[in-house]
Chain A
Amino acid sequence: MRHKIPALLIALSLGVSAPARAQLPDWVNQILSAALLPVATTQARLDGVNNNDIRTAIDAMNRAGVPAGEARAFFDDERAARRDHGPVDNFGAFVQSQLEAGKRGPELAAAIRAEHARQGKGNAARGGKKIDRDNDDADENGKKDKKDKKDKNEKPGKRDDHGQGRSASSSFNG
């Protein structure tokens, strides 16, 4: 009997605490997910996603009233698609166009994945290595050396995004 009481108390405490967490209102779960949006965009930048593209996508999602938690999931999907298929040009503009077409949630994620599969500059053959082709945040993310190496190997005609991204980023970061 002496052993039964502590066991009963433990069972009771587990029984009370588990449903309490599960019964959190939806808005709490949503706001906890929303709180990870800046982390997701930081990770995307570290993966080499163009800062201008991130801003364009973020602005478009904000204007379209997409919940921040959903935007966070979207960036996680984008990173996965980028790893699998490589980066795509004008990612931000593509997201904007899809949002304007009314796509949201899983439909938007599927469109992004399909775009990466169709236009991705790279694939599994690259072993999912990071590609900093157009990462204008390279300096602040400590990837300058990597970017410099990349620039040396890059053909002159492929540098269109650099100038644009860099100037916008410098004004953006003050």
Chain B
Amino acid sequence: MKILTVGAALVLALTACGRTDANVDKATPEQTAEAKAASNLDHARDAARVANLMAEQPAAADSLLTANGYTRYSFEKAMYEIAADSAMAAAYAAAKKP
């Protein structure tokens, strides 16, 4: 009897977990696209912030890159990625100090 009770509880728990996952997956493609676009813009603005810091303290460029999760190589790649995207490039240009 106890085994049946425990089994039923397990089934209920697993079902509940499944429902939660299903709800999470219900984000529409539009919502996903919007979230991605917003994330891209944040990425561009953050890169501009790092670029501004390096321009202000060029002698500390290496440590600034590292502290912000970049390497020289990955920062260059980020510049290419941002430059190719009109919206990201515009966000970057707006945040980049002259």
Interface residues of A (CB under 8 A from B): 20-21, 24, 27-28, 31-32, 34-43, 45, 51, 54-55, 58-59, 61-62, 67-68, 71, 137, 140-141, 169, 172-174
26 residue pairs bridging A and B, Cβ less than 8 Å apart = A20-B59, A21-B58, A28-B61, A31-B61, A31-B76, A32-B54, A32-B58, A34-B75, A35-B54, A35-B55, A37-B82, A38-B83, A38-B96, A39-B92, A41-B84, A41-B89, A42-B86, A42-B92, A45-B90, A58-B83, A62-B80, A71-B83, A173-B87, A174-B33, A174-B36, A174-B37
- Nearest CB of chain B from residue A134's CB, rounded to whole Å: 14
Question: By CB atoms of chain B within 10 A, which of A28, A42, A71, A169 has the most?
Answer: A42
Docked Cα-Cα span, A165 to B85, in Å, equals 14
Task: Kindly list chain B residues whose C-beta atoms are within 8 Å of the C-beta of A58.
Answer: 80, 83-84
Segment 11-52 of B: residues with Cβ below 8 Å from A: 33, 36-37, 44, 48, 51
- Confirm or deny: B79 has a beta carbon within 8 angstroms of a beta carbon on chain A: yes
